[in-house]
Amino acid sequence: MKKKVISMLLAGAMVLSLAACGGSGDSGSAGGAAADSGSSGGAAAAADSGSSGGSGTKLTIWTWDQSFNIAAMNTAIEMYKADHPDFDAEVIETPSEDCETKLTTCANSGDYSTMADIVLMQDNSYQKFLASYPDAFTDLSDIGIDWSQFPELKQSYSMVGDQHFGVPFDNGAVIGCYRTDILEEAGYTIDDLTDITWTRFMEIGQDVYAKTGKYLLSSEASGGDTLLMMIFSCGAGVVDADGNPYIVDNEAVKACVDIYVQMIKNNVVLLVNSWDDYIKSITTGQTAGIVNGNWITGTLMSTEDQAGKWEITTMPRVDGVATATNYANNGGSSWYITSNCKDVALAKDFLLNTFGNNTDFYDAILPTTGAIACYLPAAETEAYNAPSEYFNGQPIFATIVEYSGHIPAYNRTPYHYESRTALNTAVQQIVDGADPATALQEAQDTLAFNMGQ
């Protein structure tokens, strides 16, 4: 009975999670050159004077989404206060794009004095800011976190060389998610979609479409993340180790583009025009499956009449690529201490003992926010192993954390969104009959141009 109650609480909470990490809108981040790996946060380094709570300093925190990030941060504050009664912090609701705009404005003026002490930033946009404004952030390498307890890829979003600048927060591990009733109609189960290749996925998808009229997947034509997730699951990126565009001679990219185009042409992947159309294709049963960041479960769980009809598993892997895996990441965010922080030691201690190493904290925010940890020990707790009634009794939270530990690292680029647009444009051109080599060359040239702006 206890597990059933926990499951019901978690199911209700997951409905709240979509706005925090989902969607596919571009980040409004600014460009810049490669960061100096020796930067350690400018004024913040001098401010680290050994305080560890009770100093009377009031931390200010910028983040967004009342039901997700803000709720999680408020829980962290209350838990830290229990052991540090003099601790004080103020959470200021600040949309993600406003966080980025304010940071850009401060950097361009050379004055960070209006910045909050702690800010949340999206993983896919942070590298561009660190590259452009390295003096805006504090080096957290000595914060005391056991970094081995966080996935390697998650850490890499907020690193330069061996330096850590961010404390990881929410989990962006990719899941395959399928309507088991539609699969059953076509003669398949979730096991048939587990740890498979994309070629096998396409074979099943064609059969499902022939028998049910349902696509196995949908994706936005211009802003979809499917292709990049396929590439990243190979431990490959769209730039080389030096950060230069690497599309034309990239065998992993070629393999992913080829199979993705085939799936579009063979009624396996439905291309839609917008995010709203993407969500509609899922909730109305036009498609029988999803491959996306696990935050998509929040959208599913708002469709109550489909409860018990969905199950999750791994994403497919790319055929013919030696480094291919069934794991990738899409979305997520991390916490950063700015160079304006007046008590860096306090801010570090606060983040260390909440987001940085506390399974009790992650258990506490799971039923109230639906935020799934990327802190690997969380997968061992009772809350994370509770069965989800919506997902047919699967312990999806522990499973998602476990997936995140297998995601391969790859050469990241601050120009994530620009590369996504360039590649999706190439795919549309190829589907419409363009020569693949020509389309991919144009994508590389477009990315190079955008990186030079």
Nearest-angstrom CA–CA distance, 401 and 329: 12
- At 46, give phi and psi (nearest 5°): -70, -25
Fold of the domain spanning 174-328+410-451: D-Maltodextrin-Binding Protein; domain 2 (3.40.190)
Fold of the domain spanning 17-172+331-378: D-Maltodextrin-Binding Protein; domain 2 (3.40.190)
Specify whether the CB–CB gap between 198 and 318 falls below 8 A.
yes
Q: What is the pLDDT of residue 127?
A: 87
pTM check: above 0.75: yes
Question: Which of 42, 27, 47, 58 is CA-nearest to residue 137?
Answer: 42
Q: What is the pLDDT of residue 150?
A: 96
Q: What is the pLDDT of residue 88?
A: 95
Q: What is the pLDDT of residue 159?
A: 92
Q: What is the pLDDT of residue 56?
A: 59
Full pLDDT tens readout for the chain, 453 residues:
333 333 433 444 443 333 334 343 443 333 333 333 333 333 333 333 333 444 557 999 999 999 899 999 999 999 999 999 999 999 999 999 999 999 999 989 989 999 999 999 999 889 888 888 989 999 999 999 999 999 999 999 999 889 999 999 999 999 999 999 999 999 999 999 999 999 999 999 999 999 999 999 999 999 899 999 999 999 999 999 999 999 999 999 999 999 999 999 999 999 999 999 999 999 999 999 999 999 898 888 888 899 999 999 999 999 999 999 999 999 899 999 999 999 999 999 999 999 999 999 999 999 888 899 999 999 999 999 999 999 999 999 999 999 999 999 999 888 999 999 999 999 999 999 999 999 999 999 999 999 987
313: β partners = 176
Nearest-angstrom CA–CA distance, 72 and 226: 29
Q: How open is the CA angle 301-303-304, to the nearest 5 degrees?
A: 85
CA 48 → CA 11, 45, 130, 166, 196, distances in Å?
Answer: 41, 6, 20, 16, 50
Considering the chain, tell me which residue range(s) the CATH 3.40.190.10 domain(s) occupy.
17-172+331-378, 174-328+410-451
Q: What is the pLDDT of residue 2?
A: 34
SS (H, E, C) the chain: CHHHHHHHHHHHHHCCCHHHHCCCCCCCCCCCCCCCCCCCCCHHHHHCCCCCCCCCCEEEEEECCHHHHHHHHHHHHHHHHHHCCCCEEEEEECCHHHHHHHHHHHHHHCCCCCCCCEEEEEHHHHHHHHHHCHHHECCCCCCCCCHHHCCHHHHHCCEECCEECEEECECCEEEEEEEHHHHHHHCCCHHHHCCCEHHHHHHHHHHHHHHHCCECEEEECCCCCHHHHHHHCCCCCCECCCCCECCCCCHHHHHHHHHHHHHHHCCCEEEECCHHHHHHHHHCCCECEEEEEHHHHHHHHCCHHHCCCEEEECCCECCCCCCCCCCCECCCEEEEEECCCCCHHHHHHHHHCCCCCCHHHHHHHHHHHCCCECCHHHHHCCCCCCCECCCCCECHHHHHHHHHCCCCCCCCCCCHHHHHHHHHHHHHHHHCCCCHHHHHHHHHHHHHHHHCC
